[in-house]
Structure 1
Amino acid sequence: MTIQIFILTKLMEGKNYPYNIKKKLSEPIPFDQLAGLTESKLYYHFDSLAKQGLIETVEIIKEEHRPDKQIFEITAKGREELPIKIYKLFETADSIGEMMVGLANIKYVDKDKAIAILEEKLKSSKAKWEYYKSFEQLIEKDKDNEKLIEFLGGYVSTKAEHAIFWLEKLIGQIREGKI
């Protein structure tokens, strides 16, 4: 989904073609390599978006000794679907890291709706963390497992508290118009 959101947002900026979008993803930081995005995967997503009616070919450029270059643009349906895809990304992401493409393109959504989704995610995360903490009293500790339980408990609590902290910070930054 994040690749499709990225493609749609690039096409919101104007007509473009797959190779150029992949190039933008790789410079100056090779995000394409970091995400494992190959040209075949990119073309697959362009094809999928076209089949959904979210983008369309508007021009084919023929060059000698080179493959034809298909130029795409976003459709009206694609403009309507982009915010829906970003909202869905926010709803399904397990971490802020998984939301990065949506956050980078938050200008295409209603920020109040995004905040509401993130606040619900925060509420759910806090409730889940409280539920998990209740198990602490059920664990039998003895001399053999005491250090392991301390280690794992510290790891899990730090990770959960860290995620909650950053989600609260993200909501605040969006609310204040900083993001």
Structure 2
Amino acid sequence: MSIKLVILGLLMEGDKHPYEIQQIVNERHMKHYIKLAIGSLYYAFEQLEKQGYVEVTDIIRDTNRPDKTVYRITDKGKEYFEQLLLEEMAKHEHVHRSIYAALSFAAYADSQKINNVLQKRIEETKALLEKMRQLYERKRKEENVAKLKLYIMTGVIMHLETEIQWLEQLQQAAAQNK
């Protein structure tokens, strides 16, 4: 997902500074489906401002902290946001995962070590799945939560469930090829 789409989407909710965007991404657990590096966040804000998609509304000065520049989305930015949103929704994703490359050569490695790695990955994925299920249940009970956010979480949960099934099948196949 485009970092610009995330920024503009969150600015559609109201004026914000980059650090606030970062906090919202963390609070909403968006890290499970987007990658956001703090350096790229500030760079993206600079680019969006240069292109006229956002504008500075305020600079918050605090003697104990660095200045915080607050931005708002412009009308041009709202049009660009919609364009990015529709492009992102229309994209067909190609699955590029490092495990696929590793599996191509797994026959040349110690099968017990592979089993151990797969077991650890299964356990970590199950822990993440449980965390996402708990988060979903909490959010589902909130009055103001948007249904689309629940659909995102449902999608993540379904992907994790499928991932676990696949990893367990992979582990069984690896055990049979000892």
TM-score, reference length from structure 2: 0.48
TM-score, reference length from structure 1: 0.48
